[in-house]
Structures are given as structure tokens and as C-alpha cells.
Amino acid sequence: MQTSHAATLIELPAAGVLLAQGPQAVDLLHAQLTQDLRNWPDGSARMAAMCTPQGRMLADFLLWREADGSIALLLDATVLEATLKRLRMFILRLQCSLRDASAQRRVFGLLEPSEAAIDSPRASLAMWQLRHDAGVTEIRLPDAPGLRRVLLVAHGEAGLAELRSRHAGLAAAGEWDWKLAEIRAGIGHVGAATTQRFVPQMLNYEALGAIDFHKGCYPGQEVVARTQYRGAVKRRTFPVRGEQPMAAGDEVYSTDDPGQPCGMIVGAAPAGDGRWEALAELKLSALEHGELRLRGADGAPLQPGELPYALPAEA
């Protein structure tokens, strides 16, 4: 794990990229995702989810417009093929296309200490702001405590050469370092182990700006809206810590109700010295009574932590 305070560059091969092109690409995605794509400020990226009619998340995305107006969708590569197949079902007669562009878009994460604000060119980007320059897209993501996070996307071989030249002096790090920073930023994602397990609010997606409640219909919209407006958010995602390895899809139990799981690990990463950190989707009641355990009521203990952002007040 990363222990240095220097900036690090991390290639992210587990990230996939879809590319939507054509005059009606916005219409396709607007009708299928939780995000409003028709009223989208220039120079910004957005999160979104794609749900079943029952409101369960099939995939989540980071969306941005490329320099030519195409829409890029970053998602977990383990659900890319199924997501591409599903979205293509809804193209019908729309004038647009959707393809896997992962081979032409190399994705990297950049981590740098927050105190490097004055010296860093990334410091001028606000959260979710982006810029395109010489075949490289830079997107400022929500920070982790003490760390600035920036997504870098290289377009083709020329963009990759530019990215490597621009960041030649940075130390390399592993995907686990990026995953740990993402967990500490409080952002969970859906992969093959967790697809169709969560309504977006269970992953705090409205707090992250990934749900638009005024845009109109999309698959699962009724369930997502009812969950929001009837005060039915009874499960949320929180950081947890433990001393045993954890993985997405692991069940979490409470000693107060040992007969059934009270939650699920969304994502996890080693934090050094034998410790692990994770995001866990949990019943709110499980945080109030009993103790949390991994994979069984007699499993390894888990200590809940605090999110780096505020959750909406419940009605």
C-alpha cells in the first residue's frame, strides 16, 4: 500500500469505457439513467445509475462529454458487456450508437496530497469539473481525506504518450491504493458481485448528485422516487474497518439479529498492517443496536466509521 506523501499515478484496468455517439445519444441515456443529461453544464462530469424496473442498480457510471460531443460512460468492467447489451436494446430507431471503447481509452487515477493545492495544476479544477487537453481528459473527483483524486483518460496512443510524458515524474502505485482512496471518499460502485442488490439511495447516490428527481421517467424511477419522498431510506452505505480480508458481496451481520444479514460489503481494500477498510451497505438499525460482524454473527468484528459528506436529512 502507498505510504509516501508524493503524488502517484495508477493505471485502472478494471475500469471499462462505453462511448455513445450520434445526435440522439443524449435522448437514449436520458431515458435510461437516473441522471438528467439534457440540462448538463458544460465542462462537468456526472455520476448516474442504471436500474431495473424494480429500482435495483444494474450498473453505475461516471459520465462526461468528450471534445467531439460524444458521451463517455466509465463503469466497472465486470458489468460492461451486460450493460452494453441492455442499453442497445433501447436504441431502436434513435440516431445513435453505443460501443465498448475500453481499448481506445486508457484510464488512470492520480492521487496527490491535499496540501499540494498551490503547486498542483489540478487544484484549479472544482469537484466534477473536467478539461480536455492534447488527447487527455482530466476529471476532478471528490477528495479522500488528505488526498486529491483526479481521473485521467488517455485517448488512443497519442493521448497515452502525452499522459505518460506529462506525469513522467510521478511514482507508480497499485489499484488497491486507488480503491482505498475511493472507499475513504465514500463512493461505492456496482460490479458483478453486487449488481441488482441496491436501490441508488442505499449507496448514498442522491447525496453524490447521481439522481435527478425532476427529469421524468426511466426504468426504476417510481421505486427510486417513492424511496425518497416517503422517507423509506432504511439502508445506507458507511465506511467500516476490520482485520480480516473483505470483498464486494460479503454479507454483514449484527449480533443483535444474528439470524439474517443486516448488510453487504460494497467494496473493500487493504489499508496496511493487516487492516482492511470497506464500504458497507447497512440497515440503519444495525448501527444503533448490536455489533457488526463479517460473514456471520460469529465472524470478525467490524468497526463503523464516518462518511466524508453529509447525508440528506430524513423526512
* pTM listed for this prediction: 0.94
Read off the pLDDT band of 312 (50, 70, 90): confident
Read off the pLDDT band of 227 (50, 70, 90): confident
pLDDT at 2 over 80: no
Read off the pLDDT band of 169 (50, 70, 90): confident
pLDDT at 117 over 60: no
Among the residue ranges 80-94, 134-148, 226-240, the one predicted with the least confidence is 226-240
Domains of the chain in start order, with CATH, are 1-233 (3.30.1360.120), 234-300 (2.40.30)
- Give the model confidence (pLDDT) of 16-65 as tens digits: 999 999 999 999 999 999 999 999 999 999 999 999 999 999 999 999 99
Average pLDDT of the residues in 215-244? 90
HEC assignment per residue over the chain: CCCCCCCEEEECCCEEEEEEECCCHHHHHHHHECCCCCCCCCCECEEEEEECCCCCEEEEEEEEECCCCCEEEEEEHHHHHHHHHHHHCCCCCCCCEEEECHHHEEEEEEEEEHHHCCCCHHHHCCCCEEEEECCEEEEEEEEECCEEEEEEEEEHHHHHHHHHHHCCCCEECCHHHHHHHHHHCCCCCCCCCCCCCCCHHHHCCCCCCCCCCCCCCCCCHHHHHHHHHCCCCCEEEEEEEECCCCCCCCEEEECCECCCCCEEEEEEEEEECCEEEEEEEEEHHHHHCCCEEECCCCCCEEEECCCCCCCCCCC
